[in-house]
Structure formats: structure tokens, C-alpha cells
Homo-oligomer: A and B are copies of this chain.
Amino acid sequence: MNFTLLCKKCGKVYPMITYYWKCPSCNFPFNLITQLSKFNQFNQIIDKNERGLWRYRKLIPFSEGLVTLGEGNTPIVEMKDEGVILKLEYFSPTGSFKDRGAAVSLSRAKFMGVGSIVEDSSGNAGIAAAAYAAKANIRARIYVPKDAPSAKRMIIRACGAEIVECESRKDASIRAVSELRENELYVGHIWDAFYIEGIKTIAFEVFESGHIPDAIIVPVASGTLLLGLFKGFFELNEMGLLNNIPEFYAVQGEECAPIYEAIYGKIGGIKNSSLADGLRVDDPPRKDEILSVIRATSGDVFIVNNNEIMGALKFLYRKGIIVEPTSATAYAAFRKTRGLGKVLIPMTGTGIKTIDRLNLIFE
């Protein structure tokens, strides 16, 4: 396949190997466009002897599987009574879907021969970046807000990454790019176009399993999960393999809901969604793209509060589905809908990382 890295705002094309992570003229995030051929069967383009992401390597740039920790190929569990399909993304090297993105970003970094990668995150993305950098034998520096859970910081450090403590999540984002040195690649998941190439393989796996949904409900912070899933289904459609792209429903906590507010206006009253703290990106760089996906697929956006998240989380645990509260936000939104047809919800990450918060929930 041919890949093109471009800025959709000014139309300028950039080389695939660049230390820029956004258009230097427009400050706009890059998009990666795959020039696709038509196929009669998905089989024609799959590497059948591979598993996980690398099964779809022909559709992924820098996909020689340079850096892999066994990511992808996650199970699908059908909850028949509830009428929903769960894609269990917590079956993964560091316990979240972020591993797919990190696998592609770090494979590119390794191909480029960078000296160090830099990421900003307080949680799953930071752990994924640290683990894949370790595997790639590339140094990593992770900028984390000072209130990041100590357990998560410990895993990052245990993988050999350097941690830089910052005043806030926002400050971490600012410092990560302003303190970049020569030969250091910024792979921040909020910006990185290559990250999305890893995430899109979830859609390929869902398609290959035959469980094609009518609707997908996705927690949204920076939007990599929603955009990756959409890109995967969009490419299947482009290749002539899938007629209809599923409807995309975004979910946010009511305390931080830029996508919801862009459509429905400011949320008033008392807000209480501290359990959705995995979804706190005030001003996602790809906000317009997220809104386009929702509109183009006739989807919608939901907000949820702590009560609803707690209810969903309890329910999932009582079915043996041990996930983080972020995954429960999407299940909580699912409970507020009806008649969407076959619904798919990605279970974003393991509940083992957030177990210390269960006291609050279950006592």
C-alpha cells in the first residue's frame, strides 16, 4: 500500500520519516492516508500466518513487526442476554488498547533509529510507551502530572523509563514537546498519526470475526480509540469489503465533555464524574475529526455521571468482566440506549490497575 502523511488543513504532504508530530505551519494534527485497492475477500490482504496487528501488516506503515510484545488478537465475548458484544482489549501486554498504538509508534521509532521517545500521560498510554520502548531498546521519557497514581508511575519506572513530574496534565503536554532534544521523537498519543494505525486493527479483527456491529459505543478523551476504529471500518469500506460503516457513539464524563458540549452546548448544574478521570482531555487536537465521525455515521454523544459508571462497573464485575472505570462509562451509556441493533463496546483496559478505587465503589 501507499501511505501519505499530510496536513488536511493546508494540504501539505510530509515525508513518512519526520520528527514533526503536527503541521509546523498550521499546528494541525497529521493524517495518514492509505491508498487502497479493491478486494473481493479480506483474506487476500491478510498475512494468515501472523497473529494480532501484524496479520494486517499490509495496511500498516512500518509494519515489519519490529517491536512487538504479543499485542492484538483480543477476544470477543457476546453477552447474549444483554444484546451486546464486548471486545476485550485488556488482554494485552500492559493491560489496555494503548498497546496497539504504541506497537506501531515504537516500530516506526525503531525504524527511524531515534535515540529516545517522549510521551505525556498519567496512565495507560505512558505505561504502554515505556514497555514498548523497553522492548525496542530505545530510551523513554514520560511526562506525568504529579497526581498520577504511584502504582502507574512505578510500572513506568520499572520498564526503565525516565519520569518527569509536572504540575498538571496540561503542563505535562506542554513540557513534553517544549523540552524535546535532538534525535528525540515525540510519540504523544494525543497527536501521533501512527498511533491510530495500531488502533484501527481492532476494526479489522472485529470484521474478521464476523461480528459486524450496527453501532459502536466508545469512551472518548483524545479520541484515538474512536478515530482508530472508524479508520479501520472506513478502510474496509474503501476496499469494497463492507457496505455500511457502523454508527459511532462517543461517551464522556460530565465533568469534561468537550465533544458533548460542541454539539449540545455547555452542561449546567452540579457535575460528578470523577470515575471518568481516564477521559480528561479538555481540548483534544482531533476534536473536529471526532465530530465528523459522529456526524458522518449518524451517531451521537452521551455523557455519564459517577452513579451510572458505578452501576455499570458493578454489573460488569458481577459477570466476571474485570475492567477499569473508563470501560464502564461506555457500558453505562449503552444502558441509556435501545434499538441500536448489534452493539459493540471495546473494553479499554484492565480493572486490576484501578483496583484500589474499588473500596469506594463496593464498600
Contacting pair A320 B77 (CB below 8 A): no
The answer for the CA separation of A94 and B350 in the assembled complex, in Å, is 9
Chain B residue with the shortest CB-CB distance to A131: B320
The answer for the CA separation of A314 and B93 in the assembled complex, in Å, is 16
Contacting pair B319 A151 (CB below 8 A): no
The listed residue with most B CB atoms (<10 A of its CB), out of A88, A155, A319, A352, is A352
A321: CB under 8 A from chain B?
yes
Contacting pair A159 B317 (CB below 8 A): yes
The answer for the CA separation of A224 and B75 in the assembled complex, in Å, is 25
The answer for the CA separation of A158 and B324 in the assembled complex, in Å, is 13
A29-37, A66-74, A252-260: which lies at the B interface? A66-74
Chain B residue with the shortest CB-CB distance to A314: B158
A141 to chain B, nearest CB (A): 16
Residues of B within 8 A of A198 (CB): none
Contacting pair A51 B70 (CB below 8 A): no
Over the window 86-101 of chain A, the binary record of Cβ atoms lying under 8 Å from chain B Cβ atoms (1 yes, 0 no) is 0010011111000000
Residues of B within 8 A of A317 (CB): 134, 158-160
Residues of B within 8 A of A76 (CB): 70
The answer for the CA separation of A86 and B22 in the assembled complex, in Å, is 38
Task: Select A159's contact among B77, B91, B95, B320, beta carbons within 8 Å.
Answer: B320
Given contacts A91-B92, A353-B352, contact A155 B322 (CB under 8 A): yes
Contacting pair B320 A135 (CB below 8 A): yes
Contacting pair B132 A320 (CB below 8 A): yes
The answer for the CA separation of A317 and B157 in the assembled complex, in Å, is 9
A296: CB under 8 A from chain B?
no
The listed residue with most B CB atoms (<10 A of its CB), out of A91, A134, A159, is A91
A356: CB under 8 A from chain B?
yes
Contacting pair A356 B151 (CB below 8 A): yes
Contacting pair B77 A151 (CB below 8 A): no
Within 8 A of B (CB), among A128-160: 130-135, 151, 154-155, 157-160
The answer for the CA separation of A98 and B83 in the assembled complex, in Å, is 28
Chain B residue with the shortest CB-CB distance to A352: B352
Within 8 A of B (CB), among A320-338: 320-322
Residues of B within 8 A of A94 (CB): 320, 322
Chain B residue with the shortest CB-CB distance to A71: B75
Residues of B within 8 A of A356 (CB): 151
Over the window 19-50 of chain A, the binary record of Cβ atoms lying under 8 Å from chain B Cβ atoms (1 yes, 0 no) is 00000000000000000000000000000000
- B-binding residues in A (CB < 8 A): 51-52, 68-70, 73-77, 88, 91-95, 130-135, 151, 154-155, 157-160, 314, 317-322, 350-353, 355-356, 358-359, 361-362
List the 5 closest pairs (A to B, CB-CB), nearest first: A70-B75, A131-B320, A135-B320, A134-B320, A158-B317
